[in-house]
Structure 1
Amino acid sequence: MPDDLLTHTAAPNPSAPLYSPARVRELLTQHGLKPTKSLGQNFLIDGNILRAIAEVGLAGGEARGTPVLEVGPGLGVLTREIATRGAQVTALEKDERLRPVLAETLAGLDVNVVWGDALEFDYSALPGDTRVIANLPYYITGVLLSRFMRAPAIVSATVLVQKEVGQRLASAPGGANYGFLSALAALYGTVNHVRDVPKGAFFPAPDVTSSVIRLDFDRSRPPPPPALLKFVEAALHHRRKTLRNNLRMIGQDGAAIDGALTAGGLRPDVRAEDVPLDALRDLAGRLGVLG
């Protein structure tokens, strides 16, 4: 775990609910801050959604003592909700301007704030059975989700994402939103769409509707081999192109592809987004991709 940890021990602030629009504006004004769009800072101001995210994120596990990772705590609104339920929270924050804010809003709670970039964080250092609960910065959602999936210590991720991303995550082969992110999520576990979240639940309001998604990762089965992930990504890289054409673009022999498609019972003009994952895995094996 990184050394730069801040443990909060002072008394909690007894003022208005932290998620109230008035309190959020007060905190920003008090500390001379403005939300930064480049960091995806849209703060939750809806108590019902806040509680729903915490409940779904901790469901299936004992709240007290459960290790939780939050990416981008912002003003500490969601962080506080999770921590007051007894979870042991590690909050990963990039914006150093928020140090005095979090020192105030997380006072007295079992929270460690790690100051650093989520893209550089060592997720392998997390304790086992960690749950991610976070309002993710939308501009790096896909990258972060793929890292959560690959981190053996993380068993689930309950996250706020753009509605469009949520639709992709939950989509099945043949669906209009199916792509590599959908396949990746299915290779590592299951996806549950919890609820949509309107723009007005945030301050400032984002340009898009959001969704709460819970991903559960099946750590009882071996992770998909890197060669399979590369193959699936290449197969799904260009939507509306045939699977054959996509595989030719990565150097696969045309005759070999034709033979593998026929052996697998697939049409020569089939598109990858219409092919079940098991069939793609079988095709990769027939083409010698998996060794």
Structure 2
Amino acid sequence: MRELLTRHGLKPTKSLGQNFLIDGNILRAIAEAGGAQAGVSVLEVGPGLGVLTREIATRGAHVTALEKDERLRPALDETLEGLDVTVVWGDALEYDYAALPPGTRVIANLPYYITGPLLARFMRAPSIVSATVLVQKEVGQRLTSGPGEDNYGFLSALAALYGSVRHVRDVPKGAFLPAPDVTSSVLRLDFDRSRPGPAPELLRFIEAALHHRRKTLRNNLRMIGHAGEAIDEALADLGLRPDVRAEDVPLDALRGLAGRLGVVL
């Protein structure tokens, strides 16, 4: 990796979240956990120098890799020569994920600074069935937390609305070049495409309800314009205390509140 960077006159760019994964065992573990195998369509975001891309492609997967930093073009040309990889140059936040082939699996070392927006896009894209991603450990804890747990919040609820999440493994700082300031985690999110996606109104309601998750749910709902009397009645109908904190409310109860308050039908 160092030789490749030197040969092409490259240095990792901090503003683009470039921390290149260099541990071969972890590369193989991510590809395996993500389901990279012959005939599978895989999307990778931020291939960097292409080492994870190469691991995925050599297993027979058809890889589309989104890369913003065109300085990496000669390095990727070298690393990925002869493999079934299409590199799309551009911003991953502007890519049309709806155009992906059905059954696509995301396998990626995500740029930390856009992890949340990217995960939301993966969840909403009907062709993506899973996302096996390397993220900051803190983000991983939020994704895998349930109501009442310390790290529970909107991202946790969003993942649960679309499917399920499991922790694959933690990754030490020394597995990257350069080493980041934080420990990372590999997570696999599986999206249940057999059920309709949540309505935008429901998503906005849950996001607002959990925005100040340690405050009472009643106060949070008052802040977005719901009448106190209507909230009290809805909470009572669902068997929730008037002073229940937002982070302690199960997702089904939040759905029930949204219905009783007329947010969704």
Q: Same fold (TM over 0.5)?
A: yes
Pairing 1:221-240 to 2, within 5 Å after superposition: 221-240=195-214
Aligned-residue offset at 1:239: 2.3
**Does 2:154 match 1:154?**
no
User: Which residue matches 1:82?
Assistant: 56
Could you tell me the percent identity over the aligned residues?
Answer: 84
Structure 1, residues 195-228: CA drift from partner, whole Å, max 9, x if none? 0000000000000000000000000011111111
User: Which residue matches 2:234?
Assistant: 260
Aligned-residue offset at 1:176: 0.3
TM-score by length of 2: 0.99
Aligned-residue offset at 1:193: 0.2
**Residue among 172, 182, 189 paired with 2:156:** 182
**Does 2:143 match 1:169?**
yes
Structure 1, residues 104-151: CA drift from partner, whole Å, max 9, x if none? 000010000000000000000100000000000000000000000000
Matched residue SS, 2:242: coil
Q: Distance in 2 between matches of 1:240 and 1:85?
A: 46
User: Which residue matches 2:43?
Assistant: 69
**Residue among 130, 134, 142 paired with 2:108:** 134
Q: Distance in 2 between matches of 1:52 and 1:28?
A: 24
Displaced runs of 4+ in structure 1, greater than 3 A? none
**Does 2:6 match 1:29?**
yes
**Does 2:73 match 1:99?**
yes
Matched residue SS, 2:49: coil
Q: Distance in 2 between matches of 1:241 and 1:273?
A: 8
Aligned-residue offset at 1:240: 1.4
TM-score by length of 1: 0.90
Matched residue SS, 1:157: strand
Aligned-residue offset at 1:66: 0.4
**Does 2:30 match 1:53?**
yes
Gaps of 5+ in 1: 1-23
Structure 1, residues 3-58: CA drift from partner, whole Å, max 9, x if none? xxxxxxxxxxxxxxxxxxxxx11111111111000111011111110000000001
Q: Distance in 2 between matches of 1:239 and 1:262?
A: 20
**Does 2:17 match 1:40?**
yes
User: Which residue matches 2:193?
Assistant: 219
Q: Distance in 2 between matches of 1:221 and 1:274?
A: 25
What amino acid sits opposite 2:66 in the alignment? L
Q: Distance in 2 between matches of 1:103 and 1:279?
A: 51
Q: Distance in 1 between matches of 2:99 and 2:90?
A: 14
Aligned-residue offset at 1:81: 0.0
Aligned-residue offset at 1:65: 1.2
Q: Distance in 1 between matches of 2:31 and 2:237?
A: 48
What amino acid sits opposite 2:144 in the alignment? A
User: Which residue matches 2:174?
Assistant: 200
User: Which residue matches 1:271?
Assistant: 245
Q: How many residues align?
A: 265
Structure 1, residues 264-284: CA drift from partner, whole Å, max 9, x if none? 100000011101100110111
